[in-house]
Structure 1
Amino acid sequence: MATVILVRHGRTTANASGVLAGRTAGVRLDEVGRSQADRTGDRLAVAPLVGLVTSPLERCRQTSKAILGRRDGEQDVPITVERGITECDYGEWQGRKLAELAKEDLWKVVQTQPSAAAFPGGESLQAMQARAVAAIRRHDAAFEAEHGPGAVWVAVSHGDIIKSILADALGMHLDLFQRISVNPASVSIVRYGSSRPDVVATNTDAGDLSWLRAKPPAEDAQVGGGAGHEAPSPPRS
C-alpha cells in the first residue's frame, strides 16, 4: 500500500489575525509560517517522495515550494495541483473575523454537528469531506499503480480538509471531526490498505521520518502491536 503524507500549509497572515481566509486570493505565509514550512521540508527531505499534490491556493503552493526546496537537487519530485483538496468554500463567512463568526447560530452547528453544517453561499462540510477524500484516494491509487506499494507521496492542503480526511480514515463520523487537531505545517500519515486505512501519525511537528524509506509493513494489523518500523536502508550517496 502507498503512503500519503498529509501536510497543512504553514501559518498565514490571516491565521495570525484571526480571519477566516477561505479561498481569498493573496493570503500568504507569514514569517512564522515560512519557518514552519522549512522545518517540515527538513523533516521530509529524507522521504523517498514520488510526487507532491497541492491545493491551488497560494499558501499551499508556498509550503509545497518550501518542502521541495529542502531536498537534494537530484531528487526531482513532480507537482500536481488538485482542486479537490482546496479549502472549504465558506461562502459568506469568508474573510470575516472568527470572533464575529463565533456569535452566529451556525457556529455551534459547526462545533457540535458538522455533518449538518452548510455555509451560506458556500458548501457543506459533508460535501467538502466527500470531494477531498475522493481526491486523496484517487491520487493514492494512481501513485501505487505507477510506483508500487512502497510509494510515498505528499498532499499539501488545509486544516479542515485534512481533519475530514483523517476522520474518514479513522472510521469516525464527520460529527466527531472537531476532536482532531491539525496544526500549521503539521505532518499526518495514512496508508490505504485493501481491508482498511492505517492511520500512522497525526498532527506531528517534530520527529525523524527516515523510517519512510523502509519497506512498508504488511496490511494485516499486528495483534499485540507488532515490532514497529524496520530500520531503513541508508540513503544512496
Structure 2
Amino acid sequence: MTVILLRHGRSTSNTAHTLAGRSAGVDLDDKGRQQADALVERLATLPIKALVRSPLLRCERTLEPLAAALSLAPTVEERISEVDYGAWTGRPIGELVKEPLWSVVQQQPSAAIFPDGEGLAAVQSRAVAAVREHDRRLAEAHGGDALWVACTHGDVIKAVIADALGLHLDGFQRITADPASCSVIRYTAVRPFVVHVNHTGPALANVLSAPPAAETNGENPAAGDAVVGGSTD
C-alpha cells in the first residue's frame, strides 16, 4: 500500500505567522487556493483509490478540487488532525520562540507537551496508527496494493515520516513538509519504504512506480500545520 501524505495549501495563518493549531475557520489564502487547484494536474492522473483528510477547514479546502476531479468523497479522520497546541494556539510565532518550551520542541520533541494541549509523542502515536489502519482497510477493499492520499498537517506528516524511516521522534525536525507538498510512503510486509519527501513539483507521477519485486525479499528498492520546527502550521 502506498500513501501520499499531502500537507494542506498555504493558509491565512501561515501568512500571518501565527500558530493556527485547531482554531476554527482558518482557510487557505490566495496562494493556497492556487496550490489546491494545481493538485488536480499534479495528482489526478494517478490511480488514487481513496482520499482521507484532517477535519480542519484548510485540509477540506485543499482536497476539494482533487476530490471533484476524481469523483471521490474524502473520509474525515480525527487522528490525523493538527497537533493540539493548547494555550499556544493562535499565538504569533515571534512570541512562541521566546518560550522555554520552544527549545524543547526543537531539541527533544519527544518530551514536548504543549500547555493545556497534547504531546508530540502522542501525536505520532495516533497519526501512525491511523495511517496503518487505513492502509489495512484499503488493502482489503482493493485486493492488495492501492494508492491513497492523506491530507494533513506539517508536524503530523513529519512524525509519520520519522516513524517510517525508523528515526527517533527527536530527529523529526530534520524533515521538511512545505504547504501543498507530497511525501510518499510505501508500506510492505517487510518494512515501510520512504519514496519521496516534500515533493512540490508540477507532477508526482514521475516519482511513483509499481512496487519493485525486490521489496518482497526485503531488499532496498533504491539499490536495484505550522510546522513548529521552523514554519507555521
TM-score after normalising by structure 1 = 0.89
- The 2-side partners of 1:19 and 1:25 are apart by 14
Q: What amino acid is the match of 2:200? A: D
State the Cα distance separating 1:163 from its structure 2 match.
0.4
State the Cα distance separating 1:223 from its structure 2 match.
7.1
Calculate the aligned-residue CA RMSD, in Å: 1.6
Q: What amino acid is the match of 2:40? A: G
Q: Which residue of 1 aligns with 2:5?
A: 6
Post-superposition Cα deviations, 1:133-165, rounded to whole Å, max 9, x if no partner, equal: 000110011111111333000000000000000
Q: Which residue of 2 aligns with 1:190?
A: 185
State the Cα distance separating 1:78 from its structure 2 match.
3.4
Q: Which residue of 2 aligns with 1:102?
A: 97
Where does the alignment leave 5 or more consecutive residues of structure 1 unmatched? 227-237
State the Cα distance separating 1:76 from its structure 2 match.
2.8
Q: What amino acid is the match of 1:56? A: P
SS of structure 1 residue aligned to 2:150:
strand
Q: Which residue of 1 aligns with 2:88?
A: 93
Note closer, same or farther for the CA distance 1:50–1:106 as it changes in structure 2 (3 Å cut): same
State the Cα distance separating 1:210 from its structure 2 match.
3.0
Confirm or deny that 1:63 pairs with 2:62: yes
Q: What amino acid is the match of 2:172? A: F
Q: Which residue of 1 aligns with 2:170?
A: 175
State the Cα distance separating 1:36 from its structure 2 match.
1.4
- The 2-side partners of 1:213 and 1:148 are apart by 20
Confirm or deny that 1:145 pairs with 2:144: no
Confirm or deny that 1:210 pairs with 2:205: yes
- The 2-side partners of 1:83 and 1:222 are apart by 33
State the Cα distance separating 1:212 from its structure 2 match.
7.6
Q: Which residue of 2 aligns with 1:81?
A: 76
Where does the alignment leave 5 or more consecutive residues of structure 2 unmatched? 225-233
Kept in 2: contact 1:50–1:78 (CA 8 A) = no
Greater CA drift, 22-31 or 140-149: 140-149
TM-score after normalising by structure 2 = 0.90
- The 2-side partners of 1:83 and 1:110 are apart by 23
State the Cα distance separating 1:213 from its structure 2 match.
7.8
Q: Which residue of 2 aligns with 1:221?
A: 219
Kept in 2: contact 1:149–1:216 (CA 8 A) = no
Greater CA drift, 163-172 or 216-225: 216-225
